[in-house]
């Protein structure tokens, strides 16, 4: 492994998340402070293969901290999964003398970084950029707080119209494999039921709960469901409810990709800035192939291979809170 880093590349990979720009800004300016050359890689690993790499200066990241998305763009690359694609990417880094990478993304991006580092002796630092908060080794991921706040704002508005019409709304939020957005936004908006991939959905229990509330004349109900729920998301849940409880006026709202966009919250900007700064500091200190996380408000470094294999575990206490508060 390289003993002294002089030139670093930074890229965003996988799905975009609010706060990625703040992380890029922190990496660039911390690198320049340490007299390193910093290069931006466009469109993730695809840009490495296509040689879409450019030198970044302090002014390159001016006025971006408040912007959603990522100035470096995101993409997924099938070519990078192949040895020939990775070899091509390495040659493009080598000709510029880039000897380290900061990869902002999720576990798929970290898998690519780990494999690339093992093959070509390029140290990598991972920053957890995903709205799903599904990566072990950190209490926060870049973009999660913004996504949850976006969902909460939307669900609050949906509750207003549910109340005006005495309706049940099934609200689908993002989360194919992880239910953190559904869990947090559901608790924060007083949802009567929250359905997530981590737990088995008891549809009979859901119907019984809604039926009991109907008898009590509690006609305004919210069911928040993650898109990865075992029944296939909001539309299927609503179909079952309509079939078994035809007297309940049921509507569906799928929030979709609005949760991925928008200006990052203060928390996401702070997290991203802190992580980006420590990514460069880690390289300067010779700490390689780790993910920078925050646990109990302290910096926490997780080996990339562990961050890839382990998944953030959902506490059963959250599920108990949901059940009690929605009763």
Query: 227 a known binding residue?
Result: yes
Query: 181 a known binding residue?
Result: no
Query: 230 a known binding residue?
Result: no
Query: 10 a known binding residue?
Result: no
Query: 15 a known binding residue?
Result: yes
Nearest to residue 323, comparing CAs of 186, 134, 214, 170? 186
Question: Cα Rg for the chain, rounded, in angstroms?
Answer: 22
Residue 139 a catalytic site member = no
Query: 175 a known binding residue?
Result: yes
Query: 260 a known binding residue?
Result: yes
Query: 29 a known binding residue?
Result: yes
Query: 174 a known binding residue?
Result: yes
Query: Which residue of the set 132, 134, 145, 229 is catalytic?
Result: 132
Query: 72 a known binding residue?
Result: no
Query: 61 a known binding residue?
Result: no
Query: 76 a known binding residue?
Result: yes
Q: Known binding site: residues?
A: 15, 25-29, 76-77, 106-109, 130-132, 159, 167, 174-176, 190-192, 216, 218-220, 227, 251, 257-260
Q: Known binding site for ATP: residues?
A: 15, 76-77, 106-109
Q: Known binding site for substrate: residues?
A: 130-132, 167, 174-176, 227, 251, 257-260
Q: Known binding site for Mg(2+): residues?
A: 107
Catalytic residues: 132
Q: Known binding site for ADP: residues?
A: 25-29, 159, 190-192, 216, 218-220
């Amino acid at each position: 492994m390289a003993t002294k880093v002089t030139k670093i590349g930074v890229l965003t990979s996988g799905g975009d998340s609010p706060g990625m720009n703040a992380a890029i800004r922190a990496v660039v300016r911390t690198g320049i402070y340490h007299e390193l050359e910093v290069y931006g890689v466009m469109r993730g690993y695809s840009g490495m293969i296509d040689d879409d790499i450019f030198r970044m200066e302090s002014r390159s990241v001016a006025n971006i901290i408040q912007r959603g998305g990522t100035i470096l763009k995101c993409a997924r690359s099938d070519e990078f999964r192949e040895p020939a694609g990775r070899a091509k990417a390495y040659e493009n880094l080598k000709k510029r003398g880039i000897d380290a990478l900061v990869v902002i993304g999720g576990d798929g991006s970290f898998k690519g970084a780990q494999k690339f580092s093992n093959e070509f002796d390029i140290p990598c630092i991972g920053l957890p950029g995903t709205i799903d908060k599904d990566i072990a080794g950190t209490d926060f991921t870049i973009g999660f707080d913004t996504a949850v706040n976006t969902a909460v704002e939307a669900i609050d508005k949906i509750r207003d119209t549910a109340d005006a019409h005495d309706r049940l709304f099934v609200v689908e939020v993002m989360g194919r494999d992880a239910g953190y957005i559904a869990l947090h936004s559901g608790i924060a908006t007083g949802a009567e039921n929250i359905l997530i991939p981590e737990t088995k959905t008891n549809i009979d229990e859901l119907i019984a709960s809604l039926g009991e509330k109907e008898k009590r004349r509690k006609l305004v109900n919210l069911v928040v469901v993650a898109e990865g729920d075992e029944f296939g998301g909001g539309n299927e849940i609503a179909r079952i409810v309509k079939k078994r409880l035809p007297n309940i006026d049921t509507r569906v709202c799928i929030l979709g990709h609005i949760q991925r966009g928008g200006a990052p919250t203060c928390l996401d900007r702070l997290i991203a800035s802190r992580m980006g700064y420590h990514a460069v500091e880690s390289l300067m200190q010779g700490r390689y192939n780790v993910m920078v996380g925050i646990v109990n408000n302290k910096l926490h470094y997780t080996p990339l291979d562990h961050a890839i294999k382990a998944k953030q575990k959902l506490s059963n206490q959250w599920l108990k809170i949901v059940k009690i508060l929605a009763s």
